[in-house]
Structure 1
Amino acid sequence: MAYQMDDVVDKWSTAILQLQIEEAENASMSTKKVCGRDMDKDTILGHLLGKNCQQKSGLYIVSIVGTGGMGKTTLAQLAYNHTKVKAHFDERIWVCVSDPFEPIRVCRAIVEALQKKPCNLHDLEAVQQEIQTCIAGKKFLLVLDDVCTEDYRLWEQLKNTINCRASGSRVLATTRNESVVKMMRIAYKHPLGELSPEQSWALFHQITFFEKSREKVEELKAIGEKIADKCKGLPLAIRTLGNLMRLNNKKEEWENILNSEVWQLDEFKRDISPILLLSYYDLSPTIKRYFSFCVVFPKDSVIEIDKLIKLWMA
C-alpha cells in the first residue's frame, strides 16, 4: 500500500510531538513530591546509611517487596538519588535485573555503570574480575531492580563477586516475590503496601488537576475521587489514570472511565494491565501503531528517541 509523503511526514510529526509532550509532562511532574512514601523512604535511607544497620559483617542487603505497580522502583529511585546517599557512597550502581536472571548480563551492566562505557568482555570470570578491580576499597550502593530468580546458584555468582567490598557497602533489591527475599538472605525486608485513600486522592489530584482551572477542578472532583478510589491504592494505576484524565477535560469522558467495564475484569484483582489498557485505548489510531512498535525492544531497554524515529521511518 503506497502512502503519500505528506501523510507519512504528518504521522512522524504527530508521533514525535506526542513524545515531546509526554517528555515535558514527565519532566514537570518529576519535581513533584511522591505522595505517601515519606516514612518508607526514611526507613530505607536509615538502612542504607547505616543508622538502622545491626549487621557487623557480611554483605548487607536491603529489599523492597510488593506486588506490581506498588511503587518499589520509585521508592528505590528516591533513595538512590537522595543527596545524602550520593555523598555517602563512593560508587552508585543501578541494574535492571528482570527475568531471566543472567549473571553475565548483570555483571556486564555493573561494569558499564562503574566505567561509564560499554563493556567489551564476554567471559563471566573476566567480567567478575573487572568488577572486583573497580570496587576494590570503595564503598558502593548496588541497586538490583526487579529480581525474579529463586535460584541461589545464579545469585551466588554475583554475590561472591561483590563480597570483596569496603565496609559500609549496600545492596538494595526490589522484588515481587517473598521467595526471592529468602533466597538472597536479606538483612532487612521492607514490605510496601497500598496507599491510603487519602494518599491515593492526593496523588491523583496532584497529577490530574495539574494546571486545570478552579472551576474545572470543582466540576470533576467528585468523579475523580471515585476513580482514585477504584485504583485500590496502587500508585502505578493512579499515575496512569491520572495522566490519562489530565488530558481529558470533558465530564462525559471522565464518566466513561468511571463506568468502564475494565474495573470488573478478574485480572484487575491480581494485575494492573487492565488499567494500562484504558490509557492505551485513549490513544489515537496513529499513536497506537507507533506505541505498539516499541514491543520490538527488550524489557528495561533504554530507547533512544532518534533511533526509534528512524526505525519508524524504515
Structure 2
Amino acid sequence: MIEETEQVYELQMEKLQKLEEENRQLRVMVEQDWLTGIYNRGTIELKINQQLQMYQKGALFVLDVDHFKQINDQYGHICGDVALKKIAAVLKKITYKNGSAGRVGGDEFVIFYPEADDESFIEEKRKEIRSLLKQIQVTDGASIYVSICGCMYRPNDDYISMFRRADALLVKEKHIRRRLDGEHVYNDIYMSENLLVDIELIRKELREQEIIPGAFCQDYHSFQNIYRFIERRMSRIQGEAGLILFTLMNPKGAYPSFEQQEQCMFALKRIIQSSLRLGDVFTQYSSFQFLVMALDTKEEGIQCIIDRIQKAFAQNACLKDKMLLHHDFPLEAVHTHVAR
C-alpha cells in the first residue's frame, strides 16, 4: 500500500510539474514578442506602469530604425527580421540587470530604466545605445541607423504620458538630423521657420548612402513614380527604354507553389540585381513576378538582358526545375497636351 501511495504521489507530482511548465510556456508566449523574444507592447506597458508606481522615477527611451522599409525592399523581409532580432538582442543585454525592453511596433522599440533619476543619464545612455546598435550589419557590410530619444519621469507620469513625450522628441529629432560623411550628426535645437538649409546638406540627404552593386531595387509605388518621370523626360529628350516582365512558372506551365515562391523569388531577385546595370530599376510586381525597367537600351539590348538573366537562372541549382518566362515591351514617351 505504501509503495502504491508513493507511486501515485510521484505520478501526481510529475503531472503537476508538467502543468507548471506548460503554464510557464504559455506566459512566455503571451508576454513575449513573437519575432524578437523581448516583451511585446501590452506586456512592456504593464511592466513599466508597475515599476513607475514602485519607484516614482525612471527614464524611458523610444527608438526606431531609420529607413527600415528600404531594408525590406532592398534585402528582403528575412534580412529585415534578422536586423530586428539583432537589435532586440542588444537591448535585452543592456537591460538585463536593471531595466526592461519591448517591441511596440514594426521597427519601434521601448527601453525603461526604473532607477534613473538624473537628466544626464538620458544623453549618456543614448550615446551608449546608439554606439552598440551602429555595429549591427544587415548584410553585405550594410549597417543600420537608429533614432533614439528619451525622457525622465515627472510626477503622475504613466507609460502613455512618458511614451508620448519621448516619441514627440523623436519626431522632432528626425526633422533636424543631419547626415555628414556617412555619419548621423544630431543637433540639440529644433527646426524653426527661419532656419536656413544648406543646399549641400540637402544633396547629402538625397544621395544614396550605401550604393548596392547592380540594379536599383524599389517598392512598386516608387518604381511607378520613376516610370512616370522617365515618360515625362522622354517627351522632351529622345531616348529608348524598355520594360521586361519576368514570371516564374513550373515545367507544367503553372505558377510555383507557395512553399517554392519565397526561395525562388529570393534567388531570382539576386540574379536580376547582379545582371543589370547600376542605372536600371526593378521591382517585385507580384508574388511570382519581377518588373524591370532598362534605360537607354535598344531592342537588341533588351534581348541581351533577357538572355543573360535566363542563363544565370538556368545555372542556379535551386531553380533548375523551374521555367522562366518573359515578356518585354517598349517604354514610349508620354504625349502631353497643352491647353490653348
* TM-score bracket relative to the smaller structure: under 0.3
- Indicate the structure (1 or 2) with the bigger Cα radius of gyration: 2
Which structure has the higher relative contact order (CA within 8 Å, separation 6+)? 1
TM-score (norm 1): 0.22
More helix by share: 1
More strand by share: 2
TM-score (norm 2): 0.21
